[in-house]
Structure 1
């Protein structure tokens, strides 16, 4: 994978659907070998990451796609890993909350460890160095669901959202990893997405937004189609929020209006995009 650096390394989410039978390991390995030896396929626009070693800038609005191999959803460019969410303690997002809670203690440790482990072998371990030095920027919970955002130098970001109540052998994850093309310093009141769009987990749609904020940004909220105020977690220069459903499926093309609050207490609406 490292021999072909002209790839957009972050591919966004895909449907890790339920399966009735076990995948065929030989078939999965053969398919994976075929895909990794082929040229990358453009795909759906939900994230705008690229390898920090990539010199050529991607074209605007380039679309990315991923494929599923025997129950393991593997990105063509190996920039995103989504584990199959076959079932869990909250398959219909019934416990989801618009306001996040904070993960602490052993629950936080487990969520961070699971996220790190899920990313270690992406791209043949090409992000192992970044992961070894990444810090935990966000560790939040929304009902049964936990989200972890890891950050590092040059805009490195890895994200994981999973149902913490699912048994370990059926636990699924949706997330991303990479270095964004918009890693330049943000203005104090700036906000920029690295994930923005709709994917699916356990055959259910989920809309996700995450990225970076400037030093003066202390809060970000989004008013959903149901007129519900979804509160983002903002910490260590990062933000993240998500909600069930597919209402953000066009956000990567159209932008997403969010309410941003600054250190002086003032609030304004900004259009969140890449």
Structure 2
């Protein structure tokens, strides 16, 4: 991997292919006791150089590898980090909703803090300055799952999606961080993705889209293969939505049709891509 000075794109993730089903309470307590009685040790994701070592809990028989969310490695406009993803309290996305709710109060504070903390060590802290001044653009809930989008100058964006009901020792997160290579101003009715594709969390596929919108964009929705309207959260010049499954597997190459509503009430179809 190239040096930080020449790289806007970081990718890494953990292979969830060999994960077992959610642990029983007895097994979870046994694992927790073993973790608390042991010393953490540094380990690295099985990725290329320049990705910093991160502490990891002892976890036997789990391989790690680099994976790409929806082919974003080929998209120079997007910086993506996929964090370790392990099964949580809602591994089957049973509580997911097509329409988002808004995170408020302590739930919002916790989700934002968790997202910030998860990104601090990326690339040896290469985004620490941007994170220190980033603002919360989106904080949404879909059932048990929460999504946070942080934004900053020059197109900086960091996203996190996680199961808020998962126990702390078994919590996973998937998301992105970086600066697009072409962070130019969008036209008033423009939309542009910075994250678009499919990854895995809890050994289940998840399709995610997020990015920027122009000043006249009030709402975005996507009709999935089951003819269900998935409503994006649109806030502070950004949008985000996700859905279970691998439906957006090729979206980074082909784009996807979305319905866009403007501040004057007019609606039209646009193609969301990078």
Q: TM bucket by the smaller chain?
A: 0.7 to 0.9
| Contact persistence 2:198–2:247 (CA under 8 A) | yes
Q: Deviations over 1:218-261 (max 9, x none)?
A: 00000000000000000000000000000100111111100000
Q: Deviations over 1:44-74 (max 9, x none)?
A: 463758xxxxxxxxxx757x9xxxxxxxxxx
Find the aligned partners of 1:271 and 1:257 in 2 and give their Cα distance: 4
Is 1:175 aligned to 2:175, yes or no? yes
1:243 aligned residue: 243
How large is the RMSD of aligned CA atoms in angstroms?
Answer: 3.1
2:109 aligned residue: 109
Find the aligned partners of 1:18 and 1:259 in 2 and give their Cα distance: 38
1:52 aligned residue: none
| Contact persistence 2:209–2:240 (CA under 8 A) | yes
After TM superposition, what 4+ stretches of structure 1 lie above 2 angstroms from structure 2? 1-8, 10-22, 25-29, 42-49
Gaps of 5+ in 1: 50-59, 65-76
CA gap of 1:148–1:273, structure 2 versus 1, over 3 A, is same
1:151 aligned residue: 151
Tell me the TM-score normalised to structure 2 length. 0.80
Q: Secondary structure of 2:48's match? A: helix
Equivalent in 32, 38, 46 of residue 70 of structure 2: 46
Q: Deviations over 1:105-146 (max 9, x none)?
A: 000000000000000000000000000000000000000000
1:195 aligned residue: 195
Find the aligned partners of 2:263 and 2:135 in 1 and give their Cα distance: 24
Q: Secondary structure of 1:5's match? A: helix
Gaps of 5+ in 2: 21-30, 35-39, 52-65
| Contact persistence 1:225–1:247 (CA under 8 A) | yes
| Contact persistence 1:207–1:248 (CA under 8 A) | yes
Q: How many residues align?
A: 245
1:35 aligned residue: 48
Shift of 1:35: 2.7
1:227 aligned residue: 227
| Contact persistence 1:18–1:202 (CA under 8 A) | no
1:72 aligned residue: none
2:96 aligned residue: 96
Tell me the TM-score normalised to structure 1 length. 0.80
Is 1:260 aligned to 2:260, yes or no? yes
Find the aligned partners of 1:239 and 1:180 in 2 and give their Cα distance: 15
Shift of 1:9: 1.4
Q: Secondary structure of 1:35's match? A: coil
Shift of 1:12: 7.4
Find the aligned partners of 1:202 and 1:124 in 2 and give their Cα distance: 26
| Contact persistence 1:13–1:175 (CA under 8 A) | no
Find the aligned partners of 1:110 and 1:3 in 2 and give their Cα distance: 33
CA gap of 1:10–1:185, structure 2 versus 1, over 3 A, is farther
Find the aligned partners of 2:106 and 2:75 in 1 and give their Cα distance: 41
1:84 aligned residue: 85
Find the aligned partners of 1:189 and 1:111 in 2 and give their Cα distance: 30
